[in-house]
Structure 1
């Protein structure tokens, strides 16, 4: 977390792990290296405090550095103390990977950095569903951008092994998951009897028309009207392609042709997909996500 933002937090506030959502006292989030450094500092301070106490007890001059006494048993006891300066060694350094992705929470404005995908703000806890959705879409775009930066030789080798195709197929699968999570969160947050309405409907948020109708039946606008017709048709096609790849190894079936009646493919042929298809699907999915989030806003 940003140092100034952290110092401004109340001591009794519990913090959240941005990755798993565990929340606990501040001290529970100290790394081992930070703990080692703190323990060394505490040990050095302890030695200095003890030295100061002994100096005060025995005095600092050589004339007072030795005291003797005789016990009731007639045994002489002599205590000798010599004051020596304490030179602490340098504290252990912190050798941890630098964070480069800095975030600012839209709810509490806390500035924090993360190593990867996360679902929680260190202070607020669970991030809004729309924030999670946009993060996921940005990750899909970044993955495609990363592939585009590969050298020609490496890219050719991966392409010939089908790696690019598998990544593009995974992109479609992930986009459906993004919409499913967002749609479910928005619907459950806005509809009091969401559990009753969803009972027996299975993975309804994986099906675009059914999702749209679900919101209509609950009194909200029709996504099929909010999203322009050309974009909605493309989304239907992308969703149908994802279903075929997931459940039929990409081979066209009757269900696909029903969903995409303008297709020139035949039953049994295998669909092909491209990077441009994926980029278009990401752009269309972002529009759809924003439309879903806007449905329940006043």
Structure 2
């Protein structure tokens, strides 16, 4: 009878390393893009889930990995998701079941048929053994992430929810890379406007431009909230208080150039548009104001917009947003956000 529960070698590279110890290698299958999920080991971290592409980034001597959201440090092999752990456990259970079955069959001297007959003629006994049914092992369910990033420092290809800050491999602050990636999506939308106009008509193309402007404002607001949160955290403000400030004080003030400047000054004690020319500030304000009728009035110019934007457009007509407007807003916005982030 064999005293080995697991057969050495095989697809899992099983190796006996002690009387009762085995080393088994279980590979987590990647998704269709070659990425595997990872999860922060700090239970307080949210969202905590991200993906990395094996073979990119630090491939040798990698001893510390990082959460891209909270920069929690741990060993690279510690960031497995619960689904991946369950997947590995089921595979290990199946290997154990197979090993136990083999040991029982060997001990009882059963052949390939799992049957053994004793005696003959009028008196015989037949013994049979039915092996256990193995677990059905499905690949671990991975969440769909829409933001793919390549770390400029170590080359790690990874994907995250929202605007993360740090590279999971080298721990470098790559927040502005995330911001650039978000704005690059808007540029791609603008780059397709001519073909969309040709294929689907002027109204669809106009809506694409309007949506692109809304996206720029949304990125501007989201980044300023991240900057505000990070500044307050560094200055000892509690997470509970920061949440209250963002929800009750900041609210949607970062969607507007004037109120954004006031809020930034009040919360961080800094001038948001420091280093930005007056002409660029005026132009950004004018472009951002066009979002109001787009969001709240189906793109129709109303009196509130005319009063705020001091525009020469006519009430009741559709607000006019050009590709060039959004491109300029992209340029100025990133300059503002980059300067603000570098100061905290």
**What band does the TM-score fall into relative to the shorter chain?**
0.5 to 0.7
More helix by share: 1
Q: What is the aligned counterpart of 1:221 among 270, 278, 291?
A: 270
Distance in 1 of aligned mates of 2:103 and 2:268 = 75
Deviations 1:141-184 (A, max 9, x none): 23233445x4xxx6424123x11111111111122121222222
2:323 corresponds to 1:272: no
Deviations 1:187-206 (A, max 9, x none): 23324476569856652222
Q: Is the 8 A contact 1:236 1:259 kept in 2?
A: no
Match of 1:252 in 2: 301
Q: Is the 8 A contact 1:58 1:81 kept in 2?
A: no
Match of 1:156 in 2: 198
Tell me the TM-score normalised to structure 1 length: 0.61
Deviations 1:69-111 (A, max 9, x none): xxxxxx96634689xxxxxxxx9999x9xx998635689x794
Q: Which runs of 5+ in 1 are unaligned?
A: 69-74, 83-90
Q: Is the 8 A contact 2:149 2:178 kept in 1?
A: no
Q: Is the 8 A contact 2:163 2:179 kept in 1?
A: no
> Alpha carbons of 1:55 and 1:200: their partners in 2 closer, same or farther (altered >3 Å)?
closer
> Alpha carbons of 1:133 and 1:100: their partners in 2 closer, same or farther (altered >3 Å)?
closer
2:102 corresponds to 1:51: yes
Match of 1:78 in 2: 125
Q: Which runs of 5+ in 2 are unaligned?
A: 1-27, 52-68, 70-77, 130-136
Match of 1:17 in 2: 49
Distance in 2 of aligned mates of 1:101 and 1:204 = 26
Equivalence map 1:91-170=2 (5 Å)? 103-104=149-150, 111-114=156-159, 118=162, 130=176, 132-147=178-193, 150=195, 155-160=197-202, 162-170=203-211
Match of 2:217 in 1: 176
> Alpha carbons of 1:117 and 1:281: their partners in 2 closer, same or farther (altered >3 Å)?
farther
Match of 1:286 in 2: 334
Match of 2:4 in 1: none
CA-CA distance at 1:242 after TM superposition: 0.8
Match of 2:253 in 1: 204
Distance in 2 of aligned mates of 1:122 and 1:46 = 40
CA-CA distance at 1:222 after TM superposition: 1.7
> Alpha carbons of 1:277 and 1:30: their partners in 2 closer, same or farther (altered >3 Å)?
same
SS of the residue 1:18 aligns to: strand
Q: Is the 8 A contact 1:18 1:119 kept in 2?
A: no
2:235 corresponds to 1:235: no
Tell me the TM-score normalised to structure 2 length: 0.55
Q: Is the 8 A contact 2:190 2:212 kept in 1?
A: no
Q: Which has the higher contact order (CA 8 A, sep 6+)?
A: 1
- Once superposed, what is the RMSD of the aligned Cα atoms? 5.2
> Alpha carbons of 1:270 and 1:198: their partners in 2 closer, same or farther (altered >3 Å)?
same
> Alpha carbons of 1:293 and 1:81: their partners in 2 closer, same or farther (altered >3 Å)?
same
Match of 1:85 in 2: none
